[in-house]
Amino acid sequence: MAYYGSGYRSWRSRDWNSSGPSKYAVLADLFGSAVGQIRNAFENLDDEALDELFFDYGVIHGESAEKYARKTYPKWKSGVTKLSGQTMERLVELVPPYLSPQQRFSLLQSVLNLHKKSGSWHTVRINVMEPAQGFAELSDVLSQMKHEDVLAHLPAHVMKAANWLYDDDITAARSMLADAERLENDMIRAKAVREIELLKRTISSGQVRSADYSVEMPAGTLSVCAYTPSKCFIATTCFGEAAPETAIFRQWRDEYLIERAWGRRFVVWYYQNGENLAALVNRSSILHHCVRGFLKVVAFSLSKTYSSWVQK
């Protein structure tokens, strides 16, 4: 019998403001799709398990609550009566101990997926003209990107919301999932190391002026952008190498675009096509005048908003 005992302390003792989220919304925030899985499992328990669950329900919530649950169960199952948020949050505690290990494992996976811990984000910039510093930073970042969780992560407030998440078999399952995630991380990282070594050799040989590489693993995301820092083709054509506008576009590239995936792709594309675009602008005085005016407006806008963009 899955009996929690007289020491049971309900996490439902919180005050729920009527203007706040519904109890179903709170449950969804805590457990995601596992809420629906628990409800479905409750409606499909065999008679013996269901009788024991109702007994526990009465011990914890009172005899009248047990009688109501037994009487209303067929209506809940048929959909004639809707399960209240209060009943559902009680079931989140009570139902999992009656399920098979496979079912409980599936519930755990759903909760873990909802609260999957975000890995760190690393961006490494490599100046292809002087790549040594970028290479050193890249090696340091790769050495840090290891998955070290002993148990698959669950936030403390989620653990407090359901006692079954403390059970020994669930802890063992979390450990097994963490091991699988660590193995996945190691495999992705090993592949990334090989690909980055190839990228480093290519950069060192002088065969590329720009490149973009990104890899996502459980421990985090690594993005590498190799670039030639001195070129801002169209701005240089329109304003000159030392112009304030050219400096603004360089800063925008080096400190904003290069920190974002779409920005790195744009930087790489621009280095591949910028010279041809600049030559095209130079062929027509009218086009040169129009592009210069447009870029001047953009540069002014960047100078006003750049600092706030960098913080985002």
Q: What is the pLDDT of residue 232?
A: 67
Please tell me the predicted confidence (pLDDT) of residue 276: 81
Q: Which two tokens stand for residue 121?
A: 């984000």
Shortest CA distance to 151 belongs to which of 186, 189, 117?
Answer: 117
| Mean pLDDT calculated for residue range 254-262 | 77
pLDDT at 309 over 80: no
Q: Which pLDDT belongs to residue 13?
A: 40
* Contact yes or no for 237/249 (Cβ under 8 A): no
Query: What is the per-residue pLDDT for 20?
Result: 61
Q: Once rounded to an integer, what is the mean pLDDT over residues 259-268?
A: 77
Please, what is the average pLDDT of the chain? Answer: 84
Inform me whether the pLDDT recorded for 15 exceeds 70: no
Is the predicted pLDDT of residue 83 greater than 60, yes or no? yes
Strand ranges of the sheet holding 220-227, from the earlier edge strand across to the other edge: 120-127, 220-227, 211-217
Residue 19 has a pLDDT of 52
pTM of the model: 0.64
Measured CA to CA, the distance from residue 250 to residue 172 in angstroms comes to 52
Residue 8 reports pLDDT greater than 50: no
CB-count burial class (<10 Å; 0-12, 13-18, 19+) for 238: buried
Which stretch of 98-102, 104-108, 276-280, 305-309 has the lowest confidence by average pLDDT? 305-309
Which tens digits make up the pLDDT trace of 211-248?
Answer: 888 898 988 889 888 877 655 678 888 888 788 888 88
pLDDT of 175 above 70? yes
